[in-house]
Structure 1
Amino acid sequence: MTAASPSLRDVVGLGHEPGQLHDSALIMIDLQNTYRRGVMRLHGVELAIAEAAKLLEIARDLKVPVFHIQHDGGTGSPYDIGAEIGAIADEVAPIAGEPVITKHYPNSFVQTDLDERLKAIGIQKIMLAGFMTHMCINSTAHGGFNLGYAPTVVASTTATRALEGANGQVLSAQQMQDAAIASTRDLYAVIVERVSDLRTW
């Protein structure tokens, strides 16, 4: 078995201590119906939504800020927010007082007011949940880190899909998930494996 290299977080002294939910903002990214069926269906999507619902319930109990991100791909697309396919899943649907931010890029900070909203309430720690792990979760973690935030990703609330590599070899959804989590854990975010592992105090 190949030994792992030290993470960049360890090298630069950031470590891997997760943020505490009580002083973070929860960012629920693209938990949309499109990922439950059809061409964009993700491996393990139902378990991930169930975990995200648990995390959302805890956040609401703690009265921490919650932001819902919804990707808009346009009318007739798998991300049509005007249709049921692009709607946020019922289990994690926003309630009154929880902003819904529409985005058009994988990074939730690009051409949105998420950064301004977080700064307005003095938030520096952000907790990320949602889809897809290799795409919008990683892009938002990277973007947030580059803006000075301290991201934590709750891995059990995320999911992705099998993809073909440049050499024609198919990487399984689990391989994609593991690689996406490992690459972001290297520097951009602390990873918490399950909601039950999260410190809420």
Structure 2
Amino acid sequence: MPALRPAPALPDAAAALLLIDIQQGFLDPRWGQRNNPQAEQRAAELLHTWRDVAAPIYHIQHLSLELGSSLGAGQPGAAFQGLVQPLAHEAVIIKHVNSAFIGTDLEARLRGEGITQLVIAGLTTDHCVSTTTRMAGNLGFRVWLVGDAAATFERTAADGRTFTAQAIHDIHLASLDGEFARVVESAEVLRGLGA
């Protein structure tokens, strides 16, 4: 497998911010225990900084095609959480699967704008965040994944073992770091942009 280009220390103001699936449906307690209750606040801080420096922003919205999903089109759960509501001029990419690149024009938009750097945050670490990060790295983008601006939920394995949300989050970040992205904290990114 060819080596991917490692991301430099920190992104600059040319990097696009991708906020993945920060939607009302993920506040439903039926998802189970989650980690990092501050993830949405950290994502909102990134969003406000990106707006301040007029850098590109993409809001990713998952609209499930599964019958009865709280993330289905028209369901209250599909709406963006208040902290990260898109402004009228900000791009919203609608997806129906885990990757923000599958079945969307995200890659074409990024290429068309000459964007080569991506900063990724959102929900959930092990599903849509991880899948999008992996694809972004494979497509040749330089990627920073903001670990404290992402979160996930506990999971039960096929053999009945339960894994905590924090363990799943940490393992996925460790797996992605250095291979598909550089994992960073929001404070690092904000300092790098002069916030």
Report if TM-score (shorter chain) is over 0.5.
yes
CA deviation after TM superposition for structure 1 residue 70, in Å: 0.4
Residues 1:196 and 1:50: Cα distance change in structure 2 (over 3 Å)? same
CA contact (8 A) 1:19 1:127 kept: no
Q: Are 1:114 and 2:106 an aligned pair? A: yes
- Counterpart of 2:59 (choices 68, 74, 81) is 68
Map 1:92-171 → 2, pairs under 5 A: 92-171=84-163
CA deviation after TM superposition for structure 1 residue 39, in Å: 2.0
Structure 1 vs Structure 2: percent identity of aligned residues? 30
Q: For 2:98, give the aligned amino acid.
A: P
Q: For 2:125, give the aligned amino acid.
A: T
Q: For 2:136, give the aligned amino acid.
A: G
CA distances 1:21-49 after superposition (whole Å, capped 9, x unpaired): 41100011000011112323561464100
SS across alignment from 2:121: strand
Q: Quick one: distance in 2 between partners of 1:41 and 1:80?
A: 19
Query: TM-score of the superposition, structure 1-length normalised?
Result: 0.88
Q: Quick one: distance in 2 between partners of 1:16 and 1:150?
A: 5
1:37 matched residue in structure 2: 28
Q: For 1:59, give the aligned amino acid.
A: W
2:44 matched residue in structure 1: 53
CA deviation after TM superposition for structure 1 residue 76, in Å: 3.5
CA deviation after TM superposition for structure 1 residue 168, in Å: 2.2
Q: For 1:115, give the aligned amino acid.
A: E
Q: For 2:153, give the aligned amino acid.
A: R
SS across alignment from 1:27: strand
SS across alignment from 2:145: strand
1:3 matched residue in structure 2: none
CA contact (8 A) 1:18 1:191 kept: no
Q: Quick one: distance in 1 between partners of 2:115 and 2:46?
A: 18
Q: Quick one: distance in 2 between partners of 1:138 and 1:73?
A: 18
CA contact (8 A) 2:4 2:138 kept: no
CA contact (8 A) 2:70 2:76 kept: no
SS across alignment from 1:68: strand
Q: Quick one: distance in 2 between partners of 1:185 and 1:35?
A: 25
Query: TM-score of the superposition, structure 2-length normalised?
Result: 0.90
